[in-house]
Amino acid sequence: MQAPSFRVKTLSALFLAAAAGISSTAAFAAGELNLYTTREPALIEPILQAFEKDSGIKVNTVFVKDGLLERVKAEGSNSPADVFMVVDIGNLLDLVDAGVTQPIQSETLTTVLPANLRSANNDWFSLSLRDRVLYADRDLNLPTFTYEDVADPKWKGKVCIRAGQHPYNTALIASMIAHDGAEATEKWLQGVKANLARKATGGDRDVARDILGGICDIGIANNYYVGRMKTAEPGTDNRKWGDAIQVVRPTFAKSGGTHVNITGASVAKSAPNKDNAVKLLEYLVSVPAQDLYANANYEYPIREGVKLHPVTESFGVLKVDPLPLTEIAKYRKQASELVDKVGFDN
């Protein structure tokens, strides 16, 4: 199976660079660039190392778990950041809307990426995709499933999921609002909450862990964690969790498509190494980098013709929900408000 086709945002500079874990020399030296990212180190470091080897450009990476936008705003025009790399289209659009990014011209990026996977004025670009799937006990017979089914009372006390306020879930909830409206989505959230086997918390792999532990039977989580679990060393916890589950790809009842989100990147507005920043983005959509996204990270490449990892391929054909991601992102705030309204994370 090939990758699917998709047509479907008064401190001194020295102090700021030191606070970012980057020396002032590194921040402005030729042959280097400074990356701020919310991605997990294990997922992005192999790709960055490949870029360094291929280009000779050193990447100084700052891993920012929370508060990326607030940090960049505080640094202002003295920020050493060249590239922002984040998960979730909403987080990317927040950076763009805050005015801390800049549009760039790159024939490579505009040729490789279809219009729906980059902004109209080229100030953000998609790098990989992931879908929100169903983890289910391996012994369950579930040939098909919809996101709406998670709220079915027959699953009462059998559902595990991470916090509703996590960006992965607010994006899914925003998509539900875009499809079915706020009223129906609120009712759905109430139904999912009533079906929870435990508090909505933890991470996606914890869903698989708790299925193995008999706490729940099903849960919503990202696809790429499954590849990491099912290829872990035999006997490790991750391998046990992966072997305990099957993956069923849910769809929305109306569209018949599966919810996807992106990882993406933008060039910082004040990038001191702009040319190198563009080179990094161009590398990240190249065949070698996209192969790493697919076969080291178990994500979906945005470049056509890149073969999926066998674990990912085993999930079957991905039919992407046709709703544009930028349309879904409009409802993120409302999605977050609904999570609080129904007390989903309480």
Give the helix ranges, DSSP H, for 181-301.
182-195, 204-212, 224-230, 237-243, 274-284, 287-295
Consult the annotation and say whether 298 binds a ligand. no
Sequence-separated (6 or more) residues with CB below 8 Å from residue 324: 8, 116
Q: How far is residue 131's CA from residue 83's CA, in Å, rounded to a whole number?
A: 25
User: 137-147: buried (b, 16+ CB within 10 Å) or exposed (e) per residue?
Assistant: beeeeeeebeb
H or E segment and range at residue 171:
helix 167-180
Of the candidates 269, 250, 259, the residue with the CA atom closest to the CA atom of residue 320: 259
- Greatest Cα pair distance, the chain, in angstroms, is 62
Residue 194: how many other CB atoms lie within 10 Å: 14
Q: How far is residue 234's CA from residue 315's CA, in Å, rounded to a whole number?
A: 21
Contact 244, 140 (CB under 8 A): no
Consult the annotation and say whether 147 binds a ligand. no
Binding residues for Fe cation: 224-225
Binding residues: 224-225
